[in-house]
């Protein structure tokens, strides 16, 4: 069946987006004739689906693998998530650096002008350049039968797509999630943006309201503010990024206030109406009943799993409409032949988490006979990053989590105004905080707040996976000067705690013998 029956478009349909579509949803694609039976059928061609399907097919042992996608291959990350958002963030950082050049002895121009259409064109160009990796052609070359259309289970061992039936031995659901529709009176009538539509803008919103103070809302609020929008950020919590370390969230919140982003915290949005002046948002906050007029509204307050239309009831797969498909620690659903991975079933809604989960699924579906040797999701040590400026990077436990589990712990904190490179860079707003077992150098978790904190957290993640404690990190030579030296400083701080009176006496004795 020709893919024109399920054609999609991406605004604006310029040369970049046309090339993107040619890769991730080719308009002339013809679905193949299904095999008699597939070893594995994967629903969804986002990160979890692509890694699962291409990983299994690419083993070279003759596995028959099919993948079904109804929209764009590459999923949110490539098309409406990680890639486009980081492109905007990069452009916005250039603007911020230009405006803050004076302390470095560089005189910025009186008026830093942003060509927003050019910013967005660059984003589309970069996205298109990355897209061949996630393309239909690349999957086909890897040995995957790619089907475009809507997937639906019709029996315990078959899935229907565009009138074709795909019989399977095992199946993996990786259909992802989408932006939650805000429950605010009038918002559907006036219209709003989400991460799925905001990257199609070609004109900068003069006045932008952002709903949600989580990672998505904060990243885009700061980026659009720096690019020239007048941004007001609404958050129902009393503090931005309330799921992060409170000290870390405070650094970012203060950065937002210093940059002039208007924050409305502990608020309840009541209704939105259209007016000649713009979209009128009425809300109740700490100052009582208030309203504000904006040109665009960006909703970034959560994700909802894509479980509709899969006909999961037909195969006995349990799910929650808001939380997604229910899986055990092996990522197996209530149907032993069907697994799930990625945003559809996991609290960790990150590209790298989906990638890691896909590798678990490959092993557990295909290479764990009689259920032996299955890998567990809970064994993963998962880092994540909120890409504000400064970034918040985290891995492992927070102190509150350790205490709740009865683990006696201690925190070592190195402020970046004590890190030489951070002083040289003028990037002292932040810290490295490492949590370890009291009386031990075992690392339980870490939070790094720094402009490039995401580039630094992997050292801690590697140490945790490799069972390397702070004492060992202290022996690792870090190039000077780097901001990552904060990690070594934290490790050295731990080592100094070992210099007890008893240790000093021993050293004195050894000195006398030397």
Contact present, 202 and 196 (Cβ < 8 Å): no
Contact present, 299 and 183 (Cβ < 8 Å): no
Question: Is 376 in a helix, a strand, or coil?
Answer: coil
Report the distance separating Cα 499 and Cα 507, nearest Å.
Answer: 10
Report the distance separating Cα 97 and Cα 100, nearest Å.
Answer: 5
> Binding site annotation covers 15?
no
> Binding site annotation covers 86?
yes
Report the distance separating Cα 201 and Cα 80, nearest Å.
Answer: 12
Report the distance separating Cα 431 and Cα 412, nearest Å.
Answer: 10
> Binding site annotation covers 46?
no
Largest Cα–Cα distance in the chain?
88
> Binding site annotation covers 218?
yes
Contacts for 452 with CB less than 8 Å, ≥ 6 apart: 391, 483
Report the distance separating Cα 437 and Cα 494, nearest Å.
Answer: 11
Burial class (CB in 10 A: 0-12, 13-18, 19+), 124: buried
> Binding site annotation covers 217?
yes
The continuous run of DSSP H or E covering 70 comes out as none
Report the distance separating Cα 199 and Cα 7, nearest Å.
Answer: 20
DSSP string, 238-270: SSTTTTS-HHHHHHHHHHHHHHT-EEEES-EEE
Contact present, 465 and 381 (Cβ < 8 Å): yes
**Residue 289: count of CB within 10 angstroms of its CB:** 9
Contacts for 327 with CB less than 8 Å, ≥ 6 apart: 333, 339, 340, 345, 377
Give whole-number Cα distances, 298 to 15, 202, 221, 281, 288, in Å. Answer: 26, 15, 9, 12, 23
Q: Which of 167, 183, 138 is nearest to 24 (CA)?
A: 138
> Binding site annotation covers 228?
no
Task: Give rounded-to-5 percent helix, strand, coil for the chain.
Answer: 40, 25, 35
Tokens 């190195």, located at residue: 414
Q: Omega of the bond prior to 459 within 30 degrees of 0, cis?
A: no
Q: Omega of the bond prior to 481 within 30 degrees of 0, cis?
A: yes
> Binding site annotation covers 213?
yes
32-68: b or e for each residue (b if 16 or more CB lie within 10 Å)? eebeeebbbbbbbbbbbbbbbbbbbbeeeeebbbbbb
Q: Which of 392, 350, 434, 387 is nearest to 246 (CA)?
A: 392
Which residues participate in the annotated binding site for NAD(+)? 212-219, 302
- Binding residues for FAD, as ranges, are 86, 343
């Amino acid at each position: 069946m020709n893919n024109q029956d399920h054609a999609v478009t991406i605004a604006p349909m310029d040369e970049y987006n046309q090339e993107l579509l040619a890769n991730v949803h080719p308009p002339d694609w013809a679905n193949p004739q299904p095999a008699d039976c597939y070893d594995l059928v994967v629903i969804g061609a986002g990160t979890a689906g692509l890694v699962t399907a291409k990983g299994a097919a690419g083993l070279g042992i003759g596995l028959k693998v099919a993948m079904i996608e109804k929209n764009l291959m590459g999923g949110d990350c490539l098309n409406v998530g990680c890639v486009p958002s980081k492109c905007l963030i990069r452009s916005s950082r250039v603007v911020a650096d230009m405006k803050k050049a004076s302390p470095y002895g560089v005189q910025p121009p009186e008026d830093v002008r942003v060509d927003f259409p050019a910013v967005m064109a660059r984003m589309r160009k970069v996205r298109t350049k990355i897209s061949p990796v996630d393309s239909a052609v690349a999957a086909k070359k890897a040995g995957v039968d790619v089907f475009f259309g809507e997937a639906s289970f019709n029996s315990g061992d078959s899935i229907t797509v565009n009138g074709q039936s795909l019989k399977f031995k095992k199946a993996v659901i990786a259909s992802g999630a989408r932006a939650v529709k805000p429950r605010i009176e009038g918002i559907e009538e006036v219209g709003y943006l989400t991460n799925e539509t905001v990257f199609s803008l070609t004109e900068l919103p003069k006045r932008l309201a952002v709903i949600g103070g989580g990672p998505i809302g904060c990243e885009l609020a700061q980026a659009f503010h720096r690019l020239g929008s007048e941004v007001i950020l609404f958050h129902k919590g009393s503090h931005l990024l309330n799921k992060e370390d409170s000290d870390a969230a405070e650094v970012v919140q203060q950065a937002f206030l210093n940059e002039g982003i208007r924050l409305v915290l502990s608020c309840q949005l009541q209704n939105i109406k259209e007016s000649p002046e713009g979209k009128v948002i009425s809300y109740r906050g700490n100052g009582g009943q208030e309203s504000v007029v904006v040109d665009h509204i960006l909703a970034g307050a959560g994700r909802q799993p894509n479980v509709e239309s899969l006909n999961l009831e037909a195969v006995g797969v349990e799910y929650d409409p808001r939380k997604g498909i229910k899986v055990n620690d092996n990522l197996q659903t209530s149907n032993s032949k069907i697994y799930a991975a990625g945003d559809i079933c996991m609290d960790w809604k990150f590209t790298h988490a989906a990638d890691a989960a896909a590798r678990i699924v490959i092993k557990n579906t295909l290479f764990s006979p009689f259920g032996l040797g299955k890998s567990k999701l809970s064994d993963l040590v998962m880092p994540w990053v909120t890409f504000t400026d400064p970034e918040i990077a985290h891995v492992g436990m927070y102190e509150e989590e350790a205490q709740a589990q009865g683990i006696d712990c201690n925190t070592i904190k190195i402020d970046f105004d004590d890190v030489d490179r951070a002083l040289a860079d003028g990037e002292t707003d932040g810290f490295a905080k490492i949590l370890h077992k009291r009386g031990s150098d075992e690392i339980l978790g870490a939070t790094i707040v720094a402009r490039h904190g995401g580039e630094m957290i992997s050292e801690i993640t590697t140490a945790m996976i490799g069972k390397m404690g702070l004492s060992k990190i202290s022996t690792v030579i870090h190039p000077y000067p780097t901001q990552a030296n904060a990690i070594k400083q934290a490790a050295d701080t731990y080592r100094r705690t070992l210099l007890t009176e008893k240790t000093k006496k021993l050293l004195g004795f050894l000195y006398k013998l030397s």
